[in-house]
Structure 1
Amino acid sequence: MPFLAKISIIEEEYPEFHKQLVEDPYLLDDINSYFKKELTDDEKEKRVEDILEVDENEPKESRLKSFLSSTQRVTTANIRPFLNLSDQSYSSGLEDFDEVMRFLKTGQQSELLDRIKDIREKGGSFDQYCDAIDDELQTYQSISRDQPMYAIINSLVNVFDRLEEEEQNEVSRVVGRYLTREPGRQFLKYLDASSVSYTHL
């Protein structure tokens, strides 16, 4: 698979950048947008230029910039599985993740809140589940399954004001990603999102 080969090269040749991708899988989208001159966020643009070592006084491209520019068409909707092939999935350490996802997808909000309460009583936090939920959303997005995407996002919005601050921050991070791009953008008109402050909108 071309994208797997690309990630393998990045991991081997540019390990620091690979670490940054693991921490922020959306970074590659930002870089591709930068190459297409479609990145409008100044802060993101500055970050990308720092990573690519862009210097107006130095016409020669860095090796990383040259590689990413020449392979920008080699991409995928969800890069996380490629970044974690040798690691456990985000959900592997969450024993009740399947049940949490069932509550999210079926809109069982009271059951979801009870489960979140149980998680806290065991010393955990719902924010630990957000990367795994993000993985699920990315998977549905990659196969164009809008209905479960909407159901998950709608449930998260509806329980948002019952979450603790750190949990809210993580939910905002995840949900905000999908409500600022298609197909998630179309969900906005159906959501009661007045109580949610999306840091990524």
Structure 2
Amino acid sequence: MDFRDVPTEVVLAAAGAALFFGLVQTLRLAWQRARQRRRLERFREQGAAGEARAEVLLRELGYTILGRQVAVSYGVQVDGEPITVGLRADYLVAHGRRRYVAEVKTGRLAPRIDTPATRRQLLEYRLAFDVDGVLLVDAETRRVRSVVFPLPAGASEGESPGVRLAWFVAAVVAGSLAAMAARAW
């Protein structure tokens, strides 16, 4: 059958159906993007409100706020090539002579130490920042928890950030291998 033999009504109907499908698909994708933007904005607002509540809570508990959104960077090597990694912690605080990184979390899962992303983030902070410890602040339940990682002897006091960083890299590699092994099962 030659294309010229197809009735005009059929061609117009097919073109209309294709146009309609394209329009519906475009609207669906636009709606999904808008919904995702609203969801991310809600999370940002929830996080900002949580940080404000956490600052008040930390002060009530006797912590001195030394900095907000404190940035630090450290170097790693990947296949012998140096790479600088940047971090930003919610708060740097002090209690007496001890300094801590305080990470604020909101929601149901993020404030839990058994949430892998939270645990890894806190471990990275512990190794990258020159602090005595890490605090996990649940802004919604108003709970501040001190998290202590099983670092080797001497790592918690006066040891260079490079050694702590090596332990962090080892933990990340071990976690990655465990995740790959779990997927293989």
Higher helix share: 1
Structure of larger gyration radius: 2
Higher strand share: 2
Using the size of structure 2 for normalisation, the TM-score is 0.26
